[in-house]
């Protein structure tokens, strides 16, 4: 396995990096076509801008609507990129993903189901249709570190696990950001002209809201955690934290509503202070804020009777519960 040479954010010359990577992409892809999936996260957004600079219209960018994104996300992202002159096509793959997630409870099996659906089923088809030989993606050094260390299999890491994408999926994968960590990617993203809402965007996992549901990620359970996520992201938008999330628990608990017993759902809130996601500690949110979050979630998300706040640092916790 080739050792990746890290470029730290402090030693990064963004202009030079963009020039170099765009030239590399141009040279490898030649006159051909490349495709990429844009999720709207800072990594895939930076890759889209880099590759667009290199290939122009020969880059086909897709937003895969997997059914497990946050409220309104596909349309928001497409419109941001439209303003930057990048056309993004939304691909409705909701049925494929929910079928693949059916009956799966184990976290790593969930990740594997999403990986296979994304790379083999959805992208296999798009590659064939577009005649592309290359897929560009925003893998960063931390994804590789955590996967190789066996902590959490990141959905976008292959080579370091001995998987050849050409053999497994029928196309090559280019990873122009692989020498960077998140802080470096944010600098590159800003330098490519992306707006602050993208280059400072809070991290969000590749397996999206399925990582926020403990147990089976059904349409109904995803819809429930999506509602809680919308409330949480709105209320905490002014808080300086690395990442915050709502998690739907598998087990129900006894609650009461309108003087009747209600055996209902539990939502766990997590909010993290962290520099690079390798270590993290719970943000000291005010009790008034926690109170408000609980009140809104139990009132506005049907069936939820309990809201808790995680007070355990990483380690031994991890940031996501799944």
Q: Which of 74, 207, 264, 282 binds ligand XMP (CB under 6 A)?
A: 207
Q: Are 277 and 242 in contact (CB under 8 A)?
A: yes
Q: Which of 67, 138, 205, 282 binds ligand XMP (CB under 6 A)?
A: 205
User: Which residue from 71, 60, 182, 66 is spatially nearest to 132, judged by alpha carbons?
Assistant: 60
CB nearer ligand XMP, residue 62 or residue 244: 244
Helix (H) or strand (E) holding 307: strand 304-309
- According to the binding rule CB under 6 A, does residue 67 interact with ligand XMP? no
Distance (Å, rounded) from C-alpha 156 to C-alpha 165? 11
Structure tokens at 57: 């219209």
Backbone angles phi, psi at 92, to 5 degrees: -80, 105
Q: Which of 53, 58, 155, 181 binds ligand XMP (CB under 6 A)?
A: 155
Give the range of 80-88, 147-155, 191-199, 287-295 binding ligand XMP by CB under 6 A: 147-155
Distance (Å, rounded) from C-alpha 27 to C-alpha 161? 27
Interacting positions 271-300 with ligand XMP (CB under 6 A): 277
> Hey, which residues does 273 pair with through a beta bridge?
281
Q: Are 94 and 66 in contact (CB under 8 A)?
A: yes
CB nearer ligand XMP, residue 39 or residue 266: 39
Binding mask 94-113 for ligand XMP (x = CB under 6 A): -----------------x--
Q: Which of 139, 243, 265, 283 binds ligand XMP (CB under 6 A)?
A: 243
Give the range of 67-75, 88-96, 152-160, 170-178 binding ligand XMP by CB under 6 A: 152-160
Q: Are 52 and 194 in contact (CB under 8 A)?
A: no
User: Which residue from 201, 133, 197 is spatially nearest to 165, judged by alpha carbons?
Assistant: 133
Q: What is the CA radius of gyration of the chain?
A: 20
Q: Are 265 and 248 in contact (CB under 8 A)?
A: yes
Nearest distance, CB of residue 264 and ligand XMP, angstroms = 26
Nearest distance, CB of residue 214 and ligand XMP, angstroms = 13
Query: From its phi and psi, is residue 100 left (phi > 0), alpha (psi between -120 and 50) or beta?
Result: alpha
CB nearer ligand XMP, residue 211 or residue 269: 211
Nearest distance, CB of residue 68 and ligand XMP, angstroms = 12
Give the range of 96-104, 160-168, 202-210, 287-295 binding ligand XMP by CB under 6 A: 202-210
Distance (Å, rounded) from C-alpha 290 to C-alpha 239? 12
Give the range of 123-131, 150-158, 193-201, 252-260 binding ligand XMP by CB under 6 A: 150-158
Q: Are 28 and 134 in contact (CB under 8 A)?
A: yes
Nearest distance, CB of residue 33 and ligand XMP, angstroms = 26
Q: Are 50 and 193 in contact (CB under 8 A)?
A: no
Q: Which of 53, 152, 181, 221 binds ligand XMP (CB under 6 A)?
A: 152
Nearest distance, CB of residue 229 and ligand XMP, angstroms = 13
Residue ranges in contact with ligand XMP by CB under 6 A: 111, 146, 151-152, 154-155, 203, 205-207, 211, 243, 277, 314, 318-320
């Amino acid at each position: 396995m080739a050792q990746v040479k890290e470029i730290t954010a402090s030693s990064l010359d963004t202009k030079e990096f963009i020039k170099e990577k765009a030239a590399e992409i141009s040279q490898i892809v030649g006159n051909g076509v490349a495709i990429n999936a844009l999720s709207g996260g800072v990594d895939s957004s930076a890759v889209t801008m880099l590759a667009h600079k290199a290939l122009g219209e020969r880059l086909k960018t897709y937003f895969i609507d997997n059914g497990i994104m946050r409220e309104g996300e596909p349309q928001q992202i497409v419109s941001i990129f439209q303003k930057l002159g990048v056309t993004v096509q939304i691909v409705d793959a909701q049925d494929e993903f929910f079928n693949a997630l059916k009956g799966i409870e184990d976290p790593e099996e969930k990740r594997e189901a999403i990986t296979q659906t994304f790379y083999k089923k959805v992208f296999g088809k798009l590659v064939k249709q577009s005649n592309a030989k290359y897929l560009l993606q925003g893998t960063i050094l931390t994804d590789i570190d955590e996967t190789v260390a066996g902590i959490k299999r990141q959905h976008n890491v292959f080579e370091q696990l001995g998987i050849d994408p050409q053999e497994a999926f029928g196309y090559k994968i280019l990873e122009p950001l692989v020498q960077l960590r998140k802080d470096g990617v944010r600098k590159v993203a800003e330098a490519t002209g992306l707006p602050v809402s993208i280059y400072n965007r809070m991290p969000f996992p590749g397996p999206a809201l399925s990582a926020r549901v403990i147990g089976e990620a059904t349409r109904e359970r995803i819809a429930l955690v999506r509602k809680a996520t919308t409330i949480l992201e709105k209320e905490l938008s002014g808080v300086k934290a690395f990442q915050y999330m709502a998690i739907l628990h598998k087990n129900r608990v006894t609650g009461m509503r309108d003087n009747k017993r209600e055996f209902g759902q539990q939502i766990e809130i997590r909010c993290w202070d962290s520099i690079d996601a390798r270590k993290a500690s719970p943000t000291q949110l005010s009790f008034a804020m926690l109170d408000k979050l609980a009140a809104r979630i139990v009132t506005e998300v049907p069936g939820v009777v309990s809201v808790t706040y995680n007070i355990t640092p990483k380690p031994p916790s991890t940031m996501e519960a799944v």
